Structure 1
Amino acid sequence: MTETKSPPQPVDERLPDIRATLERAAGALVCLDFDGTLAPIVDNPDAAAPLEPNRTAVVSLERAPGITTAVVSGRALADVRERVDGPSVYAGNHGLELARNGAVAVHPVARKRADRIQRVCSVLETALATVPNCRIENKRLTGTVHVRSVPPAVEPVVRRVTREVVDRFGGDALEISTGKRILEIGPDVPWGKGNAVELIAADEPPQTAVVYVGDDVTDESAFRAVEPNGIGIRVGDDEPSRASCRVESPAEVASVLSWLCSTGADLLGRSGPTVEPAADPSSTTRG
């Protein structure tokens, strides 16, 4: 069965629904992607850093009563933990690594297939060495081929070679998925960010509202996991998504997080419909 997607609405237009969701909730779990969400997309992935307002907002959110924060990223767990402080939970490699409650869990199939990832990344580094600005990132449990700065004329070559190498050395054990100007290589298992979000949410009290903010194709499984009872916020344009809301950029993410930290936290635990129209919520999120 084909799942239906529709263009997400600007978050300001969805604020009455967001307020109602938080009022019905006992608490909130706010899950955040990193690249393209907390941090702008940059040509060199090593240079990615969260915008300062986002960094500050994440720390404040974690301290807010009734709110738990988590970062759910395609980056390796160790990598993303170094780039953003504050959250109590981290998921790396699209949820294949999960740090929570003082322990780190790794998907058992991903662990077993790490050697194949290593081999594929090594072969690709040699096979694509002459392609300008093509970068192969070995994240142990997954690998990424970055084509953002590759000349458009040779990008099809990169995609063809990547598929040939994965087919030859990965066989049925590995698969390729696509993102924003990247090719992701990982174990062929039915697991993604949505599964990680469901595991994280299972640790929270009943009636916790789950918020997920992300920008890429790999975030769609997380939007599916939280909607319609939770709140999915897509960062980007109005391309169809399983998220119900959207903001345009990481800069606007900071406004949403600040609103959740103040107004959103105050709404938690209230019963019944929204009853406080005194302030204009849309101006609050922009502020």
Structure 2
Amino acid sequence: MQDFPTAPDNAALFLDFDGTLVEIAERPDAVRVPPDLPPLLERLSRHLDGALAIVSGRPLAELDHFLPGPVAKAGNHGAALRRRPDGAVESPALASPPAAWRARTQALTEAFPSAFIEDKAHGFVLHYRQAPEAGAVFRDLLESLVAEAPEHFALLPARMAWEVTPRGVSKATAVTSLMAHPPFAGRVPVFVGDDVTDEAGMQAAREAGGIGLRLQDAFGTPGDFRAWLAALEARYAQGRAA
């Protein structure tokens, strides 16, 4: 039986969504959320006095749709932050890529009909999961576009996707910002993610004296991780009852 890591009683949990809490889907809107996951996260958040946040590349509106429970959330790689379930959304002023960039990307995808673009508030994602042969072609185009304004934009690699995103925000900035204020301040950050875009959040957690875990190495699958979260919630509940 695999030995899973442990989380301290005073943890602050930072959890990626796609590929970590739920399995990757062919398209972002096709993801399936187990019905017991939102209430599990809500209970965990209560045990941690609110120090649990979903940190995702998805927009907040999508996170709220798939995970409607009252937990803190950071969307668009930290570009939109809600510290508390009933709190205001914090969004720094960020550049948006020129419309011509998206038009050129769209034109290229016409040669690969299975690929598609996912629009974000300050960028876009080019998904090629169903057209893997196009990955390098898409990368070359997007790298050339970002090179036109490297001080404002970056190209993020993801699992079978490339994302054009503004500089200045990341999952690391989300973790750092959340850790600066209650209910996260003073706790031990634990970041769990599965993708290249999560590595900055993992590193930020480690630099703050916490733990950064890659799902595949520490747990295996999203199902294994959900089972670990359920066991963690049971441990916290037992500790409160004692």
TM-score in terms of structure 1 length:
0.73
Does the aligned pair in 1 maintain the 2:15–2:192 contact within 8 Å? yes
Match for 1:74 among 57, 69, 72? Answer: 57
1:132-191 CA-partner distances (Å, limit 9, x unpaired): 311111112121111111142x332222222234435x45422212111111101233x3
The 3 A distance-change label for structure 1 pair 265 and 142 is farther
Aligned to 1:198, what secondary structure does the other structure show? helix
Give the number of aligned pairs. Answer: 237
Give 1:249-264 correspondences, 5 Å limit: 249-264=221-236
Does the aligned pair in 2 maintain the 1:39–1:250 contact within 8 Å? yes
1:176 and 2:167 are equivalent in the alignment: no
1:104 and 2:95 are equivalent in the alignment: no
1:234-270 CA-partner distances (Å, limit 9, x unpaired): 211x3xxxxxxx11111012122112212145558xx
**Alignment match, 2:204:** 225
In the TM superposition, residue 36 of structure 1 has moved relative to its aligned partner by 0.3
1:132 and 2:113 are equivalent in the alignment: yes
The 3 A distance-change label for structure 1 pair 119 and 99 is farther
Aligned to 1:52, what secondary structure does the other structure show? coil
Match for 1:198 among 155, 163, 176? Answer: 176
The 3 A distance-change label for structure 1 pair 265 and 221 is farther
Letter in 2 for 1:254: R
In the TM superposition, residue 203 of structure 1 has moved relative to its aligned partner by 1.7
Letter in 1 for 2:125: T
| Distance across 1 between alignment mates of 2:187 and 2:196 | 25
**Alignment match, 1:4:** none
Larger radius of gyration between Structure 1 and Structure 2: 1
Aligned to 2:147, what secondary structure does the other structure show? helix
1:92 and 2:75 are equivalent in the alignment: yes
Unaligned residue ranges in structure 2 (runs of 5+): none
In the TM superposition, residue 106 of structure 1 has moved relative to its aligned partner by 1.1
**Alignment match, 1:164:** 144
Does the aligned pair in 1 maintain the 2:81–2:174 contact within 8 Å? yes
In the TM superposition, residue 13 of structure 1 has moved relative to its aligned partner by 5.0
In the TM superposition, residue 53 of structure 1 has moved relative to its aligned partner by 3.9
Which fold has the larger relative contact order, with Cα–Cα distance below 8 Å and residues 6 or more apart in sequence?
1
Identity %: 30
Aligned to 1:104, what secondary structure does the other structure show? coil
1:200-227 CA-partner distances (Å, limit 9, x unpaired): 1222255322222211111111111222
Poorly superposed stretches of 4+, deviation over 6 Å: none
Letter in 1 for 2:24: I
1:58-110 CA-partner distances (Å, limit 9, x unpaired): 122123363522111001122222111224311111001112342111122x2
Unaligned residue ranges in structure 1 (runs of 5+): 1-9, 239-245, 269-287
Does the aligned pair in 2 maintain the 1:71–1:87 contact within 8 Å? no
Does the aligned pair in 2 maintain the 1:117–1:142 contact within 8 Å? no
| Distance across 2 between alignment mates of 1:140 and 1:65 | 31
Q: RMSD over aligned Cα, in angstroms? A: 2.5
TM-score in terms of structure 2 length:
0.86
Match for 1:12 among 3, 9, 28? Answer: 3
Match for 1:54 among 23, 37, 48? Answer: 37
Letter in 2 for 1:156: A
Does the aligned pair in 2 maintain the 1:57–1:254 contact within 8 Å? no
